[in-house]
Chains A and B, each alone.
Chain A
Amino acid sequence: MQSPTTLLDPTAELQTSARQLLPRLASIAGLTIGLLDISKPRGKEFLDEVQKHLEQAGAKVKRYSKPTFTRVAPTELTQRISVECDAVIEGLAD
């Protein structure tokens, strides 16, 4: 017997069964990009550099940071980013 955690695909199977990525942005000009500092050392310096490149490409940048890199971002923070930004880049440093 198959394991109880096997489900049968209810769709037409036109796509892979893995979770789908959201559509990629065609351009970032005029869009708001969030930069999420996960609070690892030197993350700020790295993201400052990323921000410069993004702004040169015409994007607006908003900065966020997680309280600690050891845990997932608080729900309040992820909700705020999802409302305020068109895309987000998570910054990992060290």
Chain B
Amino acid sequence: MNQAIANQATHYALVVKKDCPTCALIEPVIHSLANNETLSLKVYVQDDPSFPADIEDVIDDSSLEYSYQQEIEVVPTLIRLSDGNDAQSEESRIYGWDQKQWQNFTGIQELGAELIDFKPGCGSKTQDPGMDEVLALRFGKQILQARAVELAEAEDIMEACFERGWSDGLPVVPPTPLRVMRMLNGSDRDAAEIIGKVPPDNVPCSIEKIAINAVMAGCKPEYFPMVIASVEAALQDRFCMHGLLCTTYFSSPVMVVSGPVAKQIGMNSGINALGQGNRANATIGRALQLIIRNVGGGVPGGIDRANMGNPGKYTYCFAEDESDENWASLAMDRGFDRADSVISLFAGDGLQPILDQQSRTPQSLAKSMAMSLRSVAHTKLFGMADAILVVCPEHRRVFREGGWDKEDLRKALYEELMSPGTDIVRGANDIAEGMPEKFKDKILNKFRDDGLHIVTTGGTAGMFSAIIGGWVASGERGSQLVSTKL
């Protein structure tokens, strides 16, 4: 084709792959276009530059750079360009094989007349599972801003994470750029968005830093919105994350997940719900702890002054059993709807069982639970530590069969947990610990208003409920339960 014709010709770019039966079908059409002197055609092939046969100057796009930049989703795709040298000058595109459409698009009436009328195309190789992030890293806009840490050739990648102090003591998933890209794709949030300042160092924390730590914790990208929500909850002033981290007491964030998201991401609210074995439960809780450690700088023995800590400081996250629709969830107690997905954070400690295999009436069981609840922090200390009462499904059944709902239980517990000050002041019962003397003539409740939360989780066998005792700095002077809707 001479230069004058080239300047006036219509320009096309065609993206194909050999492994696509539709592309193979239209090989004669490609030849016909390539030999047509009234147009110019560039053929890009994704998998094998020997295809289409006998076409000169096929462009090898096995790197997929062109296909990625042009956002090709289907092969074959035929693009009409206003300028044959400028891939950005696209006017219009068609894809798959539709005889009439191709004839109209090119203005060549007999094009592919010998072929079947219609055959849909195949997925572009850019659409293969996992390719999006691979190509985004290679050819896309640079969105990762975190410092790249280059490892030495002989350095063990797992050990490297330990040695740099990034681990809670257990192995972490090495945060490679590709894994972090995939985590970021679990949410619509901008990687550079600053979500707040993470204590104790009060460092601005980006969505990207959360993603890096979520990768290390072992999260799947579909958990990422939950991890972000947990950080947002932890950074609420009411939660007092800074003080919670610094305390010599046992407490640390306990996460309770309510609503449809728990089932959607496969959380455990059944057998062993507070134990090991479920990836979502385990890694979402761990991600928040790693963020506090790595972004906030909160390491044990540094700003974290816990004298013993508790095993939940690795991870402490579980979902509610919402199988009884007449039993309100924790999220509903906090003003949300059953259909809302909500993560609640509580400053809590380990787990104290309440064994009751004999109570068959709500009255007996509520008294029984109240007696155990008195032991939170210390039997003679009232109004200091909040608690979560974790009602097991069999105990819930006792309440339900007795005609009680959660509010009935809450009222009964409140009444059972009143105590005359004279029994619990310092020195009473020959025990120095207790409430200050000024409470001697008062009637006190074990828990401050809004200090006792009730959730249900666990397997259907075993009349074992539990108490998650709270931080002794509960309430406005310290930490209050916070909830964030996804």
Segment 4-56 of A: residues with Cβ below 8 Å from B: 4-14, 17, 19-20
Q: Which residues does chain A contribute within 8 Å of B190, judged by CB atoms? A: none
Given contacts A1-B134, A10-B175, A12-B295, 16 further A-B contacts (CB under 8 A): A1-B178, A5-B151, A6-B148, A7-B151, A7-B161, A7-B174, A8-B146, A8-B176, A8-B208, A9-B148, A9-B149, A10-B290, A11-B294, A12-B296, A13-B147, A17-B164
A8: chain B residues at CB < 8 Å are 144, 146-149, 175-177, 180, 208, 212
A9 to B294, CA, bound (A): 9
Give B138-177 as 1s and 0s: 1 = Cβ < 8 Å from A's Cβ atoms.
1000001011111111010100110111100000001111
Check B465 for interface membership: any CB of A closer than 8 A. Answer: no
Name the contact of B203 in the complex, choosing from A2, A5, A9, A14 (C-beta under 8 A): A14
* CB of A53 to closest CB in B, whole Å: 32
Query: Does B176 lie within 8 Å of A10, measured CB to CB?
Result: no
Contact across chains for B149 and A14 when beta carbons are under 8 A apart:
no
Q: How large is the interface on A (under 10, 10 to 19, 20 to 34, 35 or more residues)?
A: 10 to 19
Q: Which residues of A contact B153 (CB under 8 A)?
A: 5
Tell yes or no: B216 within 8 A of A by CB: yes
Q: Do B295 and A7 touch across chains, with their CB atoms under 8 A apart? A: no
Instruction: Report whether B160 and A7 are in contact in the complex, using a CB–CB cutoff of 8 Å.
Output: yes
Once the chains bind, are A17 and B149 in contact (CB under 8 Å)? yes
Q: Is B201 an interface residue (CB 8 A)?
A: yes
In contact, B177 and A9 (Cβ under 8 angstroms): no
| Chain A minimum-CB-distance residue to B202 | A12
How many A-B contacts at CB < 8 Å in the complex? 81
A binding-site residues for B, Cβ under 8 Å: 1-14, 17, 19-20
Nearest B residue to A2 by beta-carbon distance?
A: B177
Those of B190-231 within 8 Å (CB) of chain A: 198, 201, 203, 205, 208-209, 212-213, 216
> In the complex where A1-B138, A14-B203, A14-B297 touch, is A9 in contact with B147 (Cβ < 8 A)?
yes
Tell me what chain A mostly uses at the interface: helix, strand, loop, or mixed: loop
- With both chains docked as a complex, state the minimum distance between the C-beta of B177 and any C-beta of chain A, in angstroms: 5
Taking a contact as CB atoms closer than 8 A, the residue among B134, B137, B150, B209 that contacts A5 in the complex is B150
B146, A9: Cβ atoms closer than 8 Å: yes
**Chain A positions within 8 Å of B134 at CB level:** 1
In Å, the complex CA distance between A7 and B368 comes to 53
Q: Residues of B contacting A17 with CB < 8 Å?
A: 147, 149, 164
Closest to B216 in A: A10
Residue numbers in A under 8 Å from B208 (CB-CB): 8
Minimum distance in angstroms from A8 CB to a CB of chain B: 4
Identify the closest chain A residue to B203 (Cβ). A12
Complex Cα distance, B297 from A10, in Å, reads 11
Residue interface bits B388-425, CB-to-A below 8 A is 1, else 0 = 00000000000000000000000000000000000000
CB-nearest residue of chain A to B210: A10
Chain A proximity of B210: nearest CB distance (Å): 10
Q: Which residues of B contact A1 (CB under 8 A)?
A: 134, 137-138, 178
**Chain A residues, Cβ within 8 Å of B160:** 7
- Minimal Cβ-Cβ distance residue in A for B148: A6
B157-A19 in contact (CB<8A): no
Contact A11 B176 (CB under 8 A): no
Q: Is the CB of A10 within 8 A of B177?
A: no
Sorted from nearest, which 4 A-B pairs have the closest CB atoms? A12-B203, A9-B147, A5-B151, A8-B146
User: Within 8 Å CB of A5, what residues of B?
Assistant: 150-153, 155, 157
Q: How far is the CA of A6 from the CA of B146 in the complex (A)?
A: 11
- In the complex, A48→B160 CA distance in Å? 37
Q: Is the CB of B212 within 8 A of A10?
A: yes
CB distance from A9 to the nearest CB of B (A): 4
> How far is B161's CA from A9's CA once the two chains are assembled, in angstroms?
10
Minimal Cβ-Cβ distance residue in B for A12: B203
